[in-house]
Amino acid sequence: MAELNGKACPPGDYPVVVIGSGPGGLQTAYSLARAGVQAAVLSADDSPGGMFRRFPLFQRLITWTKIHAPAERGTRPYEWYDWNSLIGEDPALRALVPEYMDGTSYFPARHEMEQGLREFSDRSKISVRYGCRWESTRAKGDTFVVGTSDGEFSCRALVIAVGMTEPWKPANIPGIELAPHYVETKPVAEYAGKRVLVVGKRNSGFEVADALLPWARQIVLASPRPARISVLVRSTAAARARYLQPYEDHVLGGGNIVLDASIERIDRTPEGRFRTLLKGTTRPGDLALETDEIIAATGFGTPLGDIGQLGVKTFYQGRLPAQTPFWESASVPGVYFAGSITQGSIGLKKYGIPSNSAAVHGFRYNAVVLARHIAETRFGAARPRPAIPPAEVVPLLLAEATRAPELWNQQSYLAHILTFDDGRVLDEGILPLAHFVDANGPDGVAMAVETDAEGDIHPAVYIRRGPRVEEHTLASSPLLEFDTAEHVAQLTALLKGLIA
Amino acid sequence: MPDTDEIIDVLGGLSLFADLSRPELEGVAHTFEEEWFPAGQRILRQGFTGSGFYVIIDGEAAVSANGTQIAHLSRGDFFGEISLLLGESPVADVSSTGSLHCLVLAGPALQEFLLAHPSVMFRMLQALARRLRASNQWRS
């Protein structure tokens, strides 16, 4: 694959082109290769790692890796506790991030994460063309032509894995351009003794406020929506516990402030300070705030280039492409997404709890499933569907509910599915739950793990008989043990008549 | 794609939110999530727990129970509230009939939202009363 100048993946025709060399792109390319499909991976960066080469700003990730875990490192059950490593089949490719962690924190440092990703890329020998910038995209018959700084690539399936990495600010705030974005935050010492307004109350807003606590004179966090806290709304998409010190400071009257207010306009004063007008949302009232500094922690969008002109539809103010349950563009077949962009495929989102597709521990499994799906539906490489003896169905499903990392890390989103075909039971493996419950298919059962409105985590069983799919909830368990005699009896009764 | 201003304008034009001030509408625009569904996507699933409250801001949807279509929804209509108010699973499916753009509130957040916005609760009550009247007329 190497050219004379040493670059992998020269321009040309490939079955699949993957754009991006972060964890989503690497996992997809690796899993495609395992399914026998060749992909050219194109990256504008000069080494693997994607956003972890730059973010989070303050060095440590918000996804943990448990070095001393209940499961043996390198096994499939261990993945449940290691939210950061990519998924390899060869033992040399498994659980790589903990290999590089120094053990002083539950959360890897950025360089530890980057090292784990680089090792995965090197050891798996994924061919990536670095320093190759994606510039244009067009459809030509049933292929896509990807124009890059190094020439043209054509493919039958295009996978876009560029991350939600483009600094984004709302367009409707006059003066917002005066506010540096989160990515432009200065070294913390430069905020010493200053009053700072942070616009935004999601993770990047709380992260930056947390880092400024020892420095800033006063921090005001403001955005229209009340802060959503992960432990209260049970979602990794909400503000994470480790960044909550500024919030506790506010609640206990420490002097830093968290406001629910819309930002009406931002101006510079003659002295070079910032004057911001705010309107309360949960508590009506106008406020004027003068601060020395302002930081727009207003989030990120996806750098989707020109694919809008192919007809790829977006939502969330253009920041995410609309997707099918298999992460294919809802409007342009053949264009797929991997990595954090897959949060745009929403799934069942029960009780408002989103999937973990925005983070590595969720989207790495989406990528594995996506690669097999592309290999099967576009290149005729059928997924294995081994037959299961009927007596093993109940133990298999309960073991999955108790230990499967895909089910625990992608609750109500990925499920282990068995289908029933003329007296035989076939193991379909891990698939999107939304696909099982909404698409027609043979009779079957899907096992998922879910959290209910009370915060109880329990197995959920979906059974398709003919055109209807019914949902059943198995008992929760304070020690998360879902393979007890009670569970066996419950599941056996539910499957009565379906297995011989 | 609409920016927040356009979503606020759309919300202000829907009868459900007609009594809210602009800052309140902005709060609503940020409290609800925006979701987009392709044609033929099931959004509310009969018999499934954990559903949400949806307001259609663009597009159309069909309500069907046990496979039979019973109603048609379009811009400004809302769905999902009955099961949330009763604490039960939905008794019907709602599916998009074309591309559908919605604002969504997680089920557990509906009660707090309605208590904080009594005018929205009153408008919802009116809409439910109209539906009840229509269904009684249909029966008689």
Chains A & B: contacts with CB separation below 8 Å:
106
Q: Which residues of A88-109 are buried (b: 16+ CB within 10 A; e: fewer)?
A: beeeebbbbbbebbeeebebbb
In angstroms, the CA B130 to CA B140 distance is 16
Q: Which two tokens mark A178? A: 């005066």
Which pLDDT band holds residue B44 (cuts at 50, 70, 90)? very high
pLDDT on residue B6: 76
Contact with chain A for residue B52, Cβ under 8 A: yes
Interchain proximity B23–A280, CB inside 8 Å: yes
Q: Is the pLDDT of residue B106 over 50?
A: yes
Nearest-CB residue to A352 (from B21, B48, B108) = B108
The B residues from 119 to 138 touching A (CB cutoff 8 Å) are: none
Q: Packing angle between helix A110-124 and helix A23-34, nearest 10 degrees? A: 20
Q: In sequence order, which ranges of chain B are alpha helices (DSSP H)?
A: 4-12, 22-31, 81-86, 110-116, 118-139
Task: Find the residue in A nearest to B31 (Cα).
Answer: A225
Question: Is A113 in contact with A61 (CB distance < 8 Å)?
Answer: yes
Query: Looking at the whole model, is its pTM more than 0.90?
Result: yes
Give B84 to chain A, closest Cα distance, Å. Answer: 10
Interchain proximity A313–B3, CB inside 8 Å: no
* Overall size of chain B counted in residues: 140
- A465 contacts in chain B (CB < 8 Å): none
Q: Which two tokens mark A121? A: 């890329």
In 10 A of CB A58, how many CB atoms? 14
- A260 contacts in chain B (CB < 8 Å): 27
Which pLDDT band holds residue B134 (cuts at 50, 70, 90)? confident
- Beginning with the edge strand found earlier in the chain, give each strand of the sheet holding B93-96 in spatial order: B42-44, B93-96, B61-65, B68-73
The B residues from 4 to 33 touching A (CB cutoff 8 Å) are: 4-5, 21, 23-24, 26-27, 29-31
Give A169 to chain B, closest Cα distance, Å. Answer: 11
Q: Which residues of A3-13 are buried (b: 16+ CB within 10 A; e: fewer)?
A: eeeebbbebee
Task: Find the residue in B nearest to A412 (Cα).
Answer: B50
Which pLDDT band holds residue B82 (cuts at 50, 70, 90)? very high
pLDDT on residue A36: 97
Q: Which residues contact residue B18 at a Cβ distance below 8 angstroms, ignoring those fewer than 6 apart?
A: B12, B123
Task: Find the residue in B nearest to A228 (Cα).
Answer: B31
Interchain proximity B42–A331, CB inside 8 Å: no
Q: Which residues contact residue A224 at a Cβ distance below 8 angstroms, ignoring those fewer than 6 apart?
A: A260, A261, A262, A281, B26, B27, B29, B30
- A281 contacts in chain B (CB < 8 Å): 23-24, 26-27, 30
- pLDDT tens digits along B9-42: 888 888 999 999 888 888 888 889 888 888 899 9
Tens-digit pLDDT profile for chain A (500 aa)? 445 556 899 999 999 999 999 999 999 999 999 999 999 999 999 999 888 888 899 889 999 999 999 999 999 999 999 999 999 999 999 999 999 999 999 999 999 999 999 999 999 999 999 999 999 999 999 999 999 999 999 999 999 999 999 999 998 899 999 999 999 999 999 999 999 999 999 999 999 999 999 999 999 999 988 899 999 888 888 999 999 999 999 999 999 999 999 999 999 999 999 999 999 888 889 999 999 999 999 999 999 999 999 999 998 888 999 999 999 999 999 999 999 999 999 999 999 999 999 999 999 999 999 999 999 999 999 989 999 999 999 999 999 999 999 999 999 999 999 999 888 999 999 999 999 999 989 999 999 999 998 889 999 999 999 989 999 999 999 999 999 999 999 999 999 988 87
Contact with chain A for residue B111, Cβ under 8 A: no
Interface test with A, best of B36, B44, B95 (most A CBs within 10 A): B36
Q: Which helix (H) or strand (E) holds A485?
A: helix A485-494
Interchain proximity B27–A262, CB inside 8 Å: yes
Interchain proximity A281–B36, CB inside 8 Å: no
Nearest-CB residue to B31 (from A225, A316, A453) = A225
Contact with chain A for residue B60, Cβ under 8 A: no
Interchain proximity B37–A453, CB inside 8 Å: no
pLDDT on residue B1: 41
- B67 contacts in chain A (CB < 8 Å): 467
